[in-house]
Amino acid sequence: MEPQAGVLVHSRADRELAVTHWLLLSAPDTHRARTEWSETGIALLRCGGLFTAVRLSAALVHAASGTDGRPAPAAHRPPS
C-alpha cells in the first residue's frame, strides 16, 4: 500500500498483535491460552464478555477439525 497524506497505515504485524491482545482479553487464563494457541492453533476463549456468539463458516470448521462435513458412521457417534 502506498502512503497517502492523512491515511494512517498499520503494518500486518501491528494488526495481528492488536487482534491477539483483544482475543486474549476473553481467555480465562491468558498464559494458558497463549501457550495452547502457539502449540496447537486453538485456544479456549470465554463467551459473554467480548463475545456473545462466534460465527464461523462450515468450511472453516471442517478444515479446522479435519472433517469433510459428512456425519460420522454410527459406530463413531456418541450414544443418544
CA distances from 35 to 31, 47, 51 (A): 6, 19, 21
Q: Does the structure show a pLDDT above 60 at 65?
A: yes
- Residue holding cell 443418544? 80
Cα distance between residue 18 and residue 79, in whole Å:
43
Q: Does the structure show a pLDDT above 60 at 69?
A: yes
Cα distance between residue 68 and residue 54, in whole Å:
21
Please name the residues in contact with 32: beta carbons below 8 A apart, sequence gap of 6 or more: 43
Q: Give the 3-state secondary structure of residue 46.
A: coil
Q: What pTM was estimated for this model as a whole?
A: 0.46
Are the CB atoms for 34 and 17 separated by under 8 Å?
A: no
- Number of Cβ atoms within 10 Å of the Cβ of 26: 17
User: 34: pLDDT confidence band, cut at 50, 70 and 90?
Assistant: confident
